[in-house]
Amino acid sequence: MTTVRPSFGTVVEPHLPWLYSLARRLVGDPDDAEDLVQRCLLKAFRSYDRLRDVEALPAWIKQILVNCCRDYFRREGRAPDEEPLGELEGYSLYRTLAVEDPLPYSDSLHLDFLASFTTEDVWAVLDRLKGLHRIPLVLVHMEGYATEEVADMLDVPQNTVLSRLHRGRKYFERELWAYAEDQDLLREPQGASR
């Protein structure tokens, strides 16, 4: 008896919310994220007949999305060379907060600093990172993948992922502080509306 394969749209549509949210986390800009998802859907549609097990669709289409994301950064010329971290190597947001003491009345300075960021602020900070560093940071620390899995997804050695993660975290810490200063996040008392 021949099994009727469900239509592509039927199996993919329930996954649109997380596909979009992943795209949004990876590339930042909402329009670019939507475009990325469309590219992903087109590629997946063209390969759907070759997907042997429809149950494997989530992992399969996520891989397609990540591949499209890599193409996106290459096409947009956003594949920067790996520059030495230089002074950033020794940067510590923990130390910066302790020295600058931006919340002098706080009993839990570091927690209160992080609490001053909304979700939109976090995305804005992530958007300041180059794709080379944002992608592994999102995949490991937001999507929960192991570095070995990310290495496989990005088709690079695991050590490369670890190196990009290390840099990404440094840039992320630095940009958290820079963003907080730029946006005056620490100017108002805790609890005041923004």
Q: Return residues touching other proteins (CB under 8 A).
A: 7-9, 12-13, 16-18, 20-21, 24-25, 30, 33-34, 37-38, 41-47, 50-52, 56, 59-60, 63-64, 67, 89-90, 92-95, 98, 110-111, 114, 117, 119, 122-123, 137, 140-142, 144, 147, 162, 165-166, 169, 173
Closest CA to 61 of 76, 72, 71, 46: 46
Sign of CA dihedral 178, 180, 181, 183: positive
For residues 78 and 141, which CB has a smaller minimum distance to other proteins in the complex?
141
Torsion of CA 66, 71, 73, 146, to 10 degrees: 30
- In the complex, least distance from residue 142 CB atom to other proteins, rounded to whole angstroms: 6
For residues 8 and 73, which CB has a smaller minimum distance to other proteins in the complex?
8
For residues 45 and 188, which CB has a smaller minimum distance to other proteins in the complex?
45
- In the complex, least distance from residue 101 CB atom to other proteins, rounded to whole angstroms: 14
- In the complex, least distance from residue 143 CB atom to other proteins, rounded to whole angstroms: 9
Instruction: Please state, in angstroms and rounded to a whole number, the distance separating the CA atoms of residues 31 and 79.
Output: 20
**What's the Cα-to-Cα distance from 30 to each of 12, 20, 58, 95, 141, rounded to whole Å?**
20, 9, 22, 34, 21
- In the complex, least distance from residue 108 CB atom to other proteins, rounded to whole angstroms: 10
Asked if 106 contacts 190 with a C-beta cutoff of 8 angstroms, the reply is yes
Residue 156: CB partners within 8 Å, gap ≥ 6? none
- In the complex, least distance from residue 136 CB atom to other proteins, rounded to whole angstroms: 12
CA 92 to chain centre: 21
For residues 1 and 172, which CB has a smaller minimum distance to other proteins in the complex?
172
For residues 51 and 185, which CB has a smaller minimum distance to other proteins in the complex?
51
Give the residue carrying structure tokens 């997907």. 51
